[in-house]
């Protein structure tokens, strides 16, 4: 199975009920290797740049950061420590159901959001904007709760695969149409621990 198909399969099954077929299981250990796309030094510089921009825009504001699990956890931890703002941070986990499940691209909150949003200044933090379905779901959901302001910060943008238009207020890096892992981002729960942002390369 070509790597692109594996990646597409994974993308459409990155929710609660993901199933990895035997063929992918066989391939994933030996023949698929991560190749560094953005080294940790560049990530650090990018996160610092984002923090400078965000800090400038939110000075004097009581900020509520909403981070999308799991992929954003390292990015969020690094970013908020550089912001030097008196913020609160909450986490949400979303599940998506791909083409081969019931409804195409349907995204749901796995637990209700347990913090008040009305009248708050909210910054959503996401790891990758791919088709745009995940972030557009959470942005629409939060908008209905009437925040004072609502913006999006994404570490990575993969614009070539966009289906739903998304405005990214603060963007780290644009990446090509490759399957990304590392710096918190996984493939089947693997590679999150890598310090660099990598692309999976097919060596088979």
Which positions are catalytic? 130
Nearer to ligand IMP, 18 or 121 (CB): 18
d(CA 3, CA 9): 10
> Quick check: 8 binds ligand IMP (CB under 6 A)?
no
| H helices, E strands: number in the chain | 5, 9
> Quick check: 71 binds Mg ion (CB under 5 A)?
yes
Single out the segment in contact with ligand IMP by CB under 6 A; choices: 37-45, 78-86, 116-124, 130-138: 130-138
> Quick check: 185 binds ligand IMP (CB under 6 A)?
yes
> Quick check: 11 binds ligand IMP (CB under 6 A)?
yes
Q: Given the DSSP bridges, would you call strands 197-202 and 32-38 parallel, antiparallel or unpaired?
A: antiparallel
Q: Which position's Cβ is nearest Mg ion?
A: 71
Whose CA is closest to 64, among 92, 100, 95? 92
Q: Given the DSSP bridges, would you call strands 170-174 and 63-69 parallel, antiparallel or unpaired?
A: unpaired
Single out the segment in contact with ligand IMP by CB under 6 A; choices: 31-39, 84-92, 110-118, 123-131: 123-131
> Quick check: 34 binds ligand IMP (CB under 6 A)?
no
- In the chain, what is the straight-line distance between the N-terminal and C-terminal CA atoms, in Å? 10
> Quick check: 128 binds ligand IMP (CB under 6 A)?
yes
List of residues 6+ apart from 48 with CB closer than 8 A = 82
> Quick check: 98 binds Mg ion (CB under 5 A)?
no
d(CA 167, CA 46): 19
Question: 3-class DSSP state for residue 24?
Answer: helix
Single out the segment in contact with ligand IMP by CB under 6 A; choices: 34-42, 77-85, 122-130, 142-150: 122-130
Q: Which residues bind ligand IMP (CB under 6 A)?
A: 11, 14, 71, 126-134, 179-180, 185
């Amino acid at each position: 199975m070509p790597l692109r198909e594996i990646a597409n399969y994974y993308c459409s099954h990155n929710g609660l009920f993901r199933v990895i077929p035997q063929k992918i299981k066989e391939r994933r250990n030996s023949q698929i290797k991560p190749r560094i796309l953005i080294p940790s030094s560049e990530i650090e510089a990018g996160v610092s740049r984002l923090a400078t921009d965000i800090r400038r825009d939110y000075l004097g504001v009581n900020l509520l950061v909403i981070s999308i699990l799991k992929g954003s956890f390292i990015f969020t931890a690094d970013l908020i420590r550089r912001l030097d703002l008196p913020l609160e941070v909450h986490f949400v986990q979303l599940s998506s159901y791909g083409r081969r499940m019931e409804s195409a691209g349907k995204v749901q909150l796995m637990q209700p959001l347990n913090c008040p949003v009305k009248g708050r200044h909210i910054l959503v933090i996401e790891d990758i904007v791919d088709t745009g379905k995940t972030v557009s779901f959470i942005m629409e959901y939060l908008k209905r709760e009437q925040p004072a302001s609502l913006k999006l910060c994404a570490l990575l943008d993969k614009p070539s695969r966009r289906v739903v238009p998304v405005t990214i207020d603060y963007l780290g890096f644009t990446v090509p149409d490759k399957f990304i892992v590392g710096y918190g981002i996984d493939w089947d729960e693997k590679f999150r621990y890598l310090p660099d942002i990598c692309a999976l390369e097919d060596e088979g």
